[in-house]
Structure 1
Amino acid sequence: MQERAEVTRRSILAAAALLFERHGYVGTSISDVARTSGYTSGAIYFHFGNKEGLAQSVLDAYFGEWPRLVEKWRSRGGPVLDRTVGLSLEVAREYRDNLIVRAGNRLWNEHKSIPTHLPQPFVGWISTVAELLAEARDAGELAAGTDVSRAARVVVAGFFGSHSISDALDRRRSVEEAVAEFWLLVLPGLQAEPDPEGCLERVRGRLPRRPKSEAAAAV
């Protein structure tokens, strides 16, 4: 019974994410989600309470995607700056290919329309990047005199700015290239021994390969 309930919940959440990503919070109704998911409105209210609860669940799933990727790249060997760049490129892929992430991103952009408490964005990323840069500094990878806190804020702002522009121009199809271009400009100022092209080449070789058909179906 519990397994069946979880399958129902996941199916409703996927349908809601699809609609929120396409039409936004205001443009999506419980009846829309019911029609798309194949479940009744009663089932949706039972599992999520109301539309606000449904949006909150999508956002919780969105924010829940990141700890796994952060731990994956932090636990790997190799230069810390390489791992920081690798993490950013894989996160960029998630914004392009992952429906939950795209839906969560749109919901956050419309957060003023959602009458529920939402987690504060970016703070966690700034903290994570600052920790990685501090590790890079201790490993002798950072240029002398680098202000880790300031650099973390600039990196996070640059990443999300690159993502937003890619979204506006071509629905994130070129988001990896946009983030790579950002790093090509920023790394020479961060690295103790500047080699941005070498860093990106090493990182690309460590990114997981994803079938083109999967990426295309997700866009």
Structure 2
Amino acid sequence: MQERAEATRRFLVEAAAELFEERGYAGTSISDISARSGRTSGAIYFHFANKERLALAVVEATLGTWPEMIAGVRAARGSALEKLVALSFSVARAFRDDVVVRAGSRLWMERKAIDAPVPGPFGAWTDTVAELLREAAAEGELAADVAPEAAALTVVYAFFGLHTISDALDGRALIEKRLRDMWLLLLRALQADPDPAGVLGRAAAAAGEPAPA
């Protein structure tokens, strides 16, 4: 019974995510989610007390995708900077391809319309980037004048700003190209011996993917 309930909750979260991503929080009702999911409003309320709780479940599902992704990238071969670059491409693809992640991002942007505290991703991502940059410094990869904590904030600002603009321009269709361009610029400032194209190529190879074009 517990497994069936969890499967139903996941199904409802995904159906709600589709609508939140398409229409936003204010433009989506429980009736809309009922119609999209094929479940009655009563069934939805059985699992989620209100629309706010369902929106929070979408955001929490988004945040829940990151630890496994981070662990997978960290376990791969390569330097700390290569892992940071590889992680950024994994996250970018999730934003492009995963409707729950896209919905979670939109709900965060619309958080003032939600009558409940909405957890945000930026603190955890800044900590993760700072940790990788500290490792890069210990490995001798990082330029001597780069402070990992301050640089982490800049990387996070650039990454999420890139996503916002890319979504507005073309629905993130060119996100990988734009992300490559971002790293070609940032790595010149971050690396002790700049080799941006080399880092990008090695990061892609370690992930078993073609070098980003």
- Same fold by TM (over 0.5)? yes
Structure 1 stretches lacking a partner, 5+ long: 211-219
The alpha carbon displacement at 1:75 in A equals 2.2
1:110 & 1:207 partners in 2: Cα distance?
A: 34
CA contact (8 A) 2:78 2:206 kept: no
Q: Partner residue of 1:99?
A: 99
Q: Displacement of 1:208 after TM fit?
A: 5.5
Q: Deviations over 1:38-61 (max 9, x none)?
A: 111011101011100000100000
Per-residue deviation at 1:103?
Answer: 0.4
What's the offset of the Cα at 1:177?
Answer: 1.1
C-alpha separation between the residues in 1 aligned to 2:11 and 2:29? Answer: 16
Mark the CA change 1:23 to 1:128 in structure 2 (over 3 Å): closer, same or farther: same
Residue number in structure 2 paired with 1:47? 47
The offset of 1:209, in angstroms, is: 5.6
Q: Distance in 2 between matches of 1:121 and 1:199?
A: 26
Listed one character per residue, the Cα deviations across residues 142-178 of structure 1 (whole Å, up to 9, x for unaligned) are 0112111111011001111111111011000111111
The letter for the 2-side match of 1:33 is: I
Distance 1:85 1:112 in 2: 32
User: What corresponds to 1:206 in structure 2?
Assistant: 206
Contact preservation (8 Å) 1:90, 1:207: no
The letter of the residue matching 1:2 is Q
Deviations 1:7-58 (A, max 9, x none): 2212111110000000000000001101110111011101011100000100
Equivalent residues in 2 for 1:116-127, closer than 5 Å: 116-127=116-127
What residue is the counterpart of 2:168 in the other structure?
Answer: 168
Amino acid at match of 2:160: F
- Secondary structure at the aligned position of 2:206 is classed as coil
Per mean C-alpha deviation after superposition, the further-off stretch among 105-114 and 141-150 is: 141-150
Match of 1:216 in 2: none
Q: Distance in 2 between matches of 1:46 and 1:150?
A: 45
1:65 match: secondary structure: helix
Please list, as runs of the form range in 1=range in 2, the aligned pairs for 1:134-145 lying within 5 A after superposition: 134-145=134-145
The TM-score, its normalising length taken from structure 1, stands at: 0.92
Percent of pairs with identical residues: 53
Say which is worse superposed, 28-37 or 66-75, in terms of deviation: 66-75
Return 5+ residue gaps in structure 2 as ranges: none
Question: Please, what is the CA RMSD of the aligned residues?
Answer: 1.3
Per the alignment, in what secondary structure is the counterpart of residue 201 of structure 2?
Answer: helix
1:186-217 deviations in Å (ceiling 9; x for gaps): 1011111110011111122233669xxxxxxx
**Contact kept in structure 1, 2:78 and 2:202, CA below 8 Å:** no
Q: 1:25 corresponds to which residue? A: 25
Q: Distance in 2 between matches of 1:144 and 1:118?
A: 38
Q: 2:65 maps to which residue? A: 65
